[in-house]
A and B are shown apart, each in its own frame.
Chain A
Amino acid sequence: MPAPLAADRPDEIMRVEQKSATQAIETNLAPGRAREVLRALWRSKTFVIGLAIVLFWVLDAIFWPLFVPYDPEGLVSPTTLQPPSAEHFFGTDDLGRDIFSRTLAGARPTLTVAPLATAIGVAGGILVGLFTGYFRGIADDIVMRIVDALLAFPLIIIAVLVISILGPSITNVILVIGIVFTPIVARTVRSAVLVERQREYVAAAKLLGNSNLYIMFAEILPNITGPIAVEITIRLGYAIFTSATLSFLALGIQQPSPDWGLTISIGRVFLQTAPSEVLFPAAALATLIVGVNLIADGLRQVLEE
């Protein structure tokens, strides 16, 4: 092999070779793709750290009433805007509520809104993606152009627009985020379907006389779970962020909920004098989003291998 090309080619060859070598082993020895993926995930530091963070907040969202020192919505201290102390670990807010309790309790609204919104978006996206990708044709063209148009706007603009028409409420926030996510997920699903529908097993399924619905949901869907899983984790991160933003803009969850976005919004007035009210919920929000994104990265790395 000539050297100038060899300089960049050996790596590639090695990779290909390595891949074929490991694949050869896989077919002989592997105990199954699913178990293989799980084991690889367990070895992925990114994934494990992300999972630990998210698990912490999920457990907290479920069990906080068991261990918060004060009622998060109760006016527990006559002294407002206290700095952190032994009595109030994170201090008190502008109304004399315990910030530590509120921060721990604030995980619940966020972890209610975001997964539900993601579920709606993913379910809608799978439906739209499967149908457009499988049938193609004019319907596909029209839906995809609508998706393009939606993607041209920043997500938050559309959400703000819709909420200001429908009025702020938790249900509306969930619905809006879910609907805005649908076309984004649909794109991912559609491109996976486009690859899968060319495979011979789909042709064979048609020749057996399977209905289109059966082919879409029983034949194709199980084989695109990888990209869908990655998409779910990415969307979850965005959903947390978007719901916090809407709360911050007072378009989402309303007072006196300890929701992080809402608390940050109220506390920002006192940012210079008493930063605790912003700092702790913001840190909590950041760790959760980072955790979800670490899961997404780990998952993508493992599945793309």
Chain B
Amino acid sequence: MSAPHPSASPPATGALAIDHLSISYLRRDRVLPVLTDVSFHIEPGEAYGLVGESGCGKTTVAMAVMCYLPTNARIEGGHIRLRDTDLTRAGEAQLRSLRGNRMAMVYQDAGSALNPSLTIGRQIAEVYRFHGGLDTAAAMDAAAAMLETVQIADSARMLRRYPHELSGGQQQRVMFAMALATSPDLLVLDEPTTGLDTTVEAEVLDLVARLRSKFSASILFISHNLGIVTRMCERVGVLYAGRLIEEGPSREIFSTPRHPYTLGLTRCVPNRIMRKDAHRLDPIPGSLPPLGLAVQGCVYAPRCPIARARCREEDPPAFVSGERRVSRCFYHDEVSGIPRSEEALPAIGGESAGGDLLRVEHLSKRYGAGTNQVVALDDVSIELEAGEILGLVGESGSGKSTLAKCVVGLLEASGGEIDFAGRPLVRLGDWRKPELRRKLQMVFQNPDTTLNPSHTARRILTRAARLLSTAGSSADVERQVTALAAAVQLRPHHLDLKPSFLSGGLKQRVAIARAFAGAPALVLCDEPTSALDVSVQATILNLLVDLQTKERVAYLFISHDLGVVRYLADRIAVMYLGQIIEIGRAEDVFSPPHHPYTEALLSAMPTIDESEGARIKLSGTMPNPANPPTGCRFHTRCHRFLGEICREREPPWQEDGEGHRYRCHIAPADLEAAQQEAMSRPAKDGNRPEAEIRA
């Protein structure tokens, strides 16, 4: 059905055409290729998504297009054409004018891309003055109008604000306002929503979709989140190790991938129906080849399940098939037939011994005093059975990590009780007895700081084994370290490396082994996979599930990724502004009736479900925790706001008698009816995302 095509790139029409682009970084007499023979084009008005895991060259493409390549980068070959201008040949003056007038970029971190010492009005007006030739007053008016366009209310006052006075979502809107000020032909979006909370991310994406109908710019959308790219773009290209390995319409590329890597990406993320006790995640074996490694044959062959001798000898050309689908795989017809890995599910151990392992009652944590007092935790009560996984979700600033730190003893609670295994915990960890420390451990979020950079993995684990396990002699400790390393699938040679030589996934495995050194009963996991690529995340999640079933450990699993929590958790607690607003079995929390905030979180996440309902848009931002709203804390943003009662009276717990409860004035029956109705309503914009996949 397809024939190899010597040059997959069509003639340079389109708004942006990249032809056979190869870029290398020079580093100390070494030439390290980062992009090899990348070709794609974007039609006028089209949105093109570029996805791939970290280190695959996404940002280099963006920088090459904007001609912002670092000084040690060298374009080895190929062309980048913006309409009729060859950007690789353009001079500095021409580029400056092009960057303002015909192409613009929105960066990942708006907070650092905006100048903190200038008002946003001045920063937007500058674009109009220099590129639009307007005088100061006219430029200010234009800036105000543009703020309205990007849906920032009260534009006159907003113009006088400084970037730090804006929320993350608003800052990103300002970046869009600046980028669109000159109506560019091409808009480059480099991970524009990474780092934003789910509900804010949904708002920004809605804005992009709306702006697309207003402005006719072509969009190059770079993201690691396949779900977002699918939602936002018509066509998608998948980058792997600096090569564009697959390209096609976004609706098809993830449902019927034609490259084993794309297939691998879609399989390592839990989808809606996957549960830890029924399905295993399918991680991609191996890891990305190091930058600059000379590869013979297909770059993906070492990790590919269908690689043959030919793949290791010849570099596969771009095969064009069907409707503009391109795949750099000799056997792209066979990709759909690749079976899931038949790894056996761990045998589920006996049911839990019963009884609560952890009881947190009316826990509160306050910082500061008087008018500056911030209530980080307010009357938080949760319970956790032995061997159970409780997922804790909520946006940043909701108090998830504070709760974990109070339980584990890194922070001292201001009030309330923590009972662990039937005994009240002394509040600060320093005083806790060794047998308690053994039973209660934590896995942290950031793989780069969770391990001491000066210590080898062996030293870290030896120390943990000595302090936590009952092993006495040093021979025992050594045996214990070997066993721990084996349990988290570390190879022996990894043990003698310092953290800087370990990849993020390996570092997190060492951290997990450290927490498991003393046969814990409860491990607090504070977003342990949020900094990892999906293929690595899948391995870590599989590992956590294995350990949980084998060792009968309970987890308090903190995450902002609802997909991961749904896959992993037996029960889920939702936090908002320092309070638990809903808690119950995972399936109860994920289906109506649930708290309106949970409803909004769920609808904000890109889902695999075709029949996704209209997205719920939360108004405003999370209120300042130093001055929380009266009554129901969520009433300022609630889409099911009833009126006075929400503003004045604290809502009661609505309980179903089976452990599911939420804090709302609306009775379960009414809420369920309203939410069922909302779910059956079709999405308005027809932009149905097909997969919730992150790369």
Q: Which residues of A contact B (CB under 8 A)?
A: 1-7, 9-10, 13-15, 17-18, 20-22, 24-30, 32-33, 199-201, 203-210, 219, 222-223
Contact = CB atoms under 8 A, between A and B. Distances in A.
Tell which of B70, B104, B179, B181 has the most Cβ of chain A within 10 Å: B70
A6 to B, nearest CB: 5
A27 B503 contact: yes
B292 A1 contact: no
A179 B446 CA distance: 40
A209 B464 CA distance: 9
B290 A29 contact: yes
Interface stretch (B245-253, B348-356, B450-458): B450-458
Contacts of A4: 126-127, 129-130
Interface stretch (B361-369, B434-442, B614-622): B434-442
B577 interface: no
A302 B172 CA distance: 35
Contacts of A199: 449
Contacts of A25: 25, 27, 32, 291-292
Contact of A17 (B68, B105, B113, B445): B68
B117 interface: no
Given A21-B34, A27-B500, A207 B291 contact: no
B68 A10 contact: yes
Tell which of B127, B434, B503 has the most Cβ of chain A within 10 Å: B127
B71 interface: yes
B449 A207 contact: no
Q: Which 7 pairs show the lowest CB-CB distances between chains A and B? A: A28-B290, A222-B454, A18-B70, A2-B127, A200-B444, A199-B449, A3-B100
B442 A204 contact: yes
B66 A207 contact: no
A201 B127 contact: no
A276 to B, nearest CB: 48
Contacts of B97: 3
A1 B66 contact: yes
B429 A207 contact: yes
B486 interface: no
B666 interface: no
Contacts of A204: 442, 444, 450, 511, 514
A201 B454 CA distance: 11
A210 B410 contact: no
Interface in B98-139: 99-100, 104-105, 113, 115, 123, 126-127, 129-131
B34 A207 contact: no
Interface in B34-83: 34, 55, 59-60, 63, 66, 68-73
Contacts of A20: 59
A201 B246 CA distance: 40
14 contacts: A2-B178, A5-B178, A6-B99, A14-B69, A14-B71, A21-B73, A25-B25, A25-B292, A29-B292, A203-B410, A206-B429, A207-B408, A209-B468, A222-B454
Contact of A223 (B429, B446, B454): B454
Contacts of B71: 14, 18
Contacts of A10: 68
Interface residues of B, number: 68
Interface string B420-450: 0000000001101010010001101110011
B467 interface: yes
Contacts of B442: 203-204, 207
B410 A30 contact: no
B463 interface: yes
Contacts of A15: 70
Contact of B410 (A29, A207, A208): A207
Given A6-B96, A30-B500, A222-B455, 15 more contacts: A2-B182, A5-B123, A6-B99, A14-B70, A17-B63, A20-B59, A22-B72, A25-B292, A27-B501, A28-B291, A207-B410, A209-B434, A219-B455, A223-B453, A223-B454
Given A204-B450, A208-B514, A17 B100 contact: no
Contacts of A207: 408-410, 429, 437, 441-442
Contacts of B59: 17, 20
A3 B291 contact: no
A33 B115 CA distance: 34
Tell which of A3, A4, A33, A223 has the most Cβ of chain B within 10 Å: A3
A5 B127 CA distance: 8
A3 B126 CA distance: 9
Contact of A5 (B126, B290, B444): B126
A211 to B, nearest CB: 9
A200 B450 contact: yes
A197 to B, nearest CB: 11
Contacts of B60: 21
A2 B410 CA distance: 46
A209 to B, nearest CB: 5
B500 to A, nearest CB: 6
Interface in B1-38: 25, 27, 32, 34
Contacts of B430: 206
A201 B468 contact: no
Contact of B437 (A22, A30, A209): A209
A219 B459 CA distance: 11
A210 B468 CA distance: 10
Contacts of B437: 207-209
Contacts of B517: 208
Contacts of B405: 203
A107 B598 CA distance: 75
A172 B279 CA distance: 74
Nearest to A28: B290
Contact of A33 (B429, B452, B500): B500
Nearest to A211: B430
A97 B205 CA distance: 85
A35 B454 CA distance: 14
Given A208-B437, A208-B467, A208-B468, A223 B452 contact: yes
Contacts of A223: 452-454
A203 B408 CA distance: 10
A18 B115 contact: no
Nearest to B430: A206
A31 to B, nearest CB: 9
A205 B131 CA distance: 55
Contacts of A200: 444-446, 449-450
Interface in B272-310: 290-292
Given A18-B70, A204-B514, A210 B130 contact: no
A219 to B, nearest CB: 6
A13 B452 contact: no
Interface in B404-423: 405, 408-410
B63 A208 contact: no
